[in-house]
Amino acid sequence: MAYETIEVRPIAGALGAEISGADLSAPLGNQVFAEIHQAFLDHQVIFFRDQTLTPDQQKAFTRRFGPFGETPFVTTLDDHPEIIEVVKQPGDRTAYNFGGNWHSDFSFQPQPPMATLLYSREVPPYGGDTLFANMYLAYETLTPGMKRIADDLIGVHSARRSYSPAAQYQHDQLSGMEVKTDDSAYATVEHPVVRTHPETGRKALFVNRVYTVGLKDFSKTEGAALLDLLCRHAERPELTCRFNWTEGALALWDNRCVQHFAVNDYDGYRRVMHRTTVAGERPV
Ligand code: OGA
Ligand code: MN
């Protein structure tokens, strides 16, 4: 599509585009918003730089896309129950970081968030990039045989690896965030391994290393082996892009067709992000 009010510059072959010409702190006109929404569908993850956003302004932009998603386990900002402050402190020298493995946000929910907005308030001098993977391409580039297998699979998703009480010690290593694990993390939901995007009609692979814990009607061993094949395929570098944050940047990604990974390579530096989500529908 031809954009008239914004500029859209792809950052990689697989997905991701930087948008310029929009000030997200002000109410957006319908045409600008329509073009941003189109760029989001066309590129799966879009990035804006040099934005100055208060929590209220980030929430107002988020609400243009729909109602907020639900935020379990992770303590939100006192005055803003819709915002998670993702923080790593200089003293947090730990192998664990928030979002530090391939995942689609909260895919353990019956209706996972359709989109996530992450706004950088403080960034390390180097590192702390976020990787994104195009799950449409992950599906489309499967071999015909694997496609046929994947088409019939049902994934079992659960928060247990991240948010069951056994994982509490990991969260406690991050001094700037509060996470309260509990037994509700053992609940499971089933989502198709290949889902159809409700807005584009394209098929996307919908499995991830963090929350997809098995496959319906397969043994633990079988499920783990098949999931590993699918995940390894989806994580190939040519299916990804990498965003290097600067202060005041905002990433907006589509959890229905993107998974992401926060790189933990900036020990000794602070990184602070504000995260909001937009509610989604049950994957089909
Ligand atoms: C998240 C997440 C990635 C990052 O907030 O859901 O995965 O780079 N964050 O902080
Ligand atoms: Mn995430």
Residues 6+ apart with CB under 8 A from 132: 15, 16, 44, 45, 240, 241, 242, 243, 253, 258, 259, 260, 261
CA distance 108 to 175: 25
Q: What is the pLDDT along the chain (284 residues), one digit of tens a residue?
A: 789 999 999 999 999 999 999 999 999 999 999 999 999 999 999 999 999 999 999 999 999 999 999 999 999 999 999 999 999 999 999 999 999 999 999 999 999 999 999 999 999 999 999 999 999 999 999 999 999 999 999 999 999 999 999 999 999 999 999 999 999 999 999 999 999 999 999 999 999 999 999 999 999 999 999 999 999 999 999 999 999 999 999 999 999 999 999 999 999 999 999 999 999 999 99
Residue list, ligand 1 pocket, CB within 6 Å: 86, 98-99, 105, 116, 118, 130, 260, 262, 273, 275
- Has 195 been annotated as catalytic? no
Residues with CB under 5 A from ligand 2 (ion): 99, 105
Closest to 47 in 3D by CA, of 252, 189, 260: 252
- Has 23 been annotated as catalytic? no
- Check: CB of residue 16 under 8 Å from CB of residue 46: yes
CA distance 243 to 35: 21
> Residue 245 CA: which ligand 1 atom is closest?
8
- Has 105 been annotated as catalytic? yes
What does the chain come to in residues? 284
Give me the domains of the chain, ranges plus CATH numbers. 7-278 (3.60.130.10)
